Amino acid sequence: MLELLQESDAIYRHEGKFDQSVLTVTYAVNRIEHEARVRCGLREIRDEFLLAALLSAPEDRLGPVSPRFERVLRKVDSAHLAAVLEDPEGGLWAQRRAQPAVDVRSIEITSTSLKRGCSVAHRWAGYGPRTITTSASVSTFELTEASHYGIGLQMPDGECVMMPAAYVPQRWSSARWRFAELVYGQFRDLDD
């Protein structure tokens, strides 16, 4: 179920399955990108190699394409993703047009124990702040370990035992963009 948390900023939250993990994700939708994709009939971009190629292309000007990404960018069917030009002297130039359609604000994991929840949360380090919801008793060691890794803890009634560490992304990676695209795909499925 798609839940609109805040109309003004288009903040949504829903539960979904992402790479074999059931997560509840809170995210902001980039309305400009979303509307452009709807107009073009473009949905989520799942190919991480294509996302890496798009990340290598500048947003504000044409730039040379690494030979590594030439093959995938030559196949780009949509002008919405990138402007791609063949250099008469050889090589390829591109300018990225596609942007991430969502910005992940938080990732929540519901688990039967903090230990199991942490093993899932570790897979999502670098994608957003992570919080585990569990009703199981928690040892001091488990709480210390979760705190060390920046994982928050809350009870099923919503009581926050420990806030997740502030999330400051170091860089936008193709893996992080792919996760945002998976969230966007589910948003589109739920929004229809």
Residues 116 and 34 in one domain: yes
3-class state of residue 4 by DSSP: strand
Give the model's pLDDT for residue 170: 80
Distance CA 91, CA 184 (A): 33
Range of the domain at 122: 1-43+99-171+178-192
Domain boundary among the residues 34, 66, 97 is at 97
| Strands, sheet with 21-29, edge to edge from the N-terminal-most edge strand | 3-6, 11-18, 21-29, 102-110, 130-133, 151-154, 160-162
Residues 93 and 6 in one domain: no
Strands 151-154 and 160-162: antiparallel
Grade residue 121 by pLDDT with cuts at 50, 70 and 90.
very high
Grade residue 168 by pLDDT with cuts at 50, 70 and 90.
confident
Residues 66 and 161 in one domain: no
Residues 11 and 32 in one domain: yes
Domain boundary among the residues 97, 114, 138 is at 97
With residues binned 3-state (H G I as helix, E B as strand, rest as coil), the percentages for the chain, rounded to 5, are: 35, 30, 40
Residues 77 and 110 in one domain: no
Residues 71 and 159 in one domain: no
**Predicted confidence (pLDDT) at residue 114 exceeds the cutoff of 80:** yes
Residues 130 and 37 in one domain: yes
Global confidence as pTM: 0.88
Number of independent structural domains in the chain: 2
Residues 89 and 4 in one domain: no
Q: Report whether 114 contacts 141 (CB < 8 A).
A: no
Residues 105 and 153 in one domain: yes
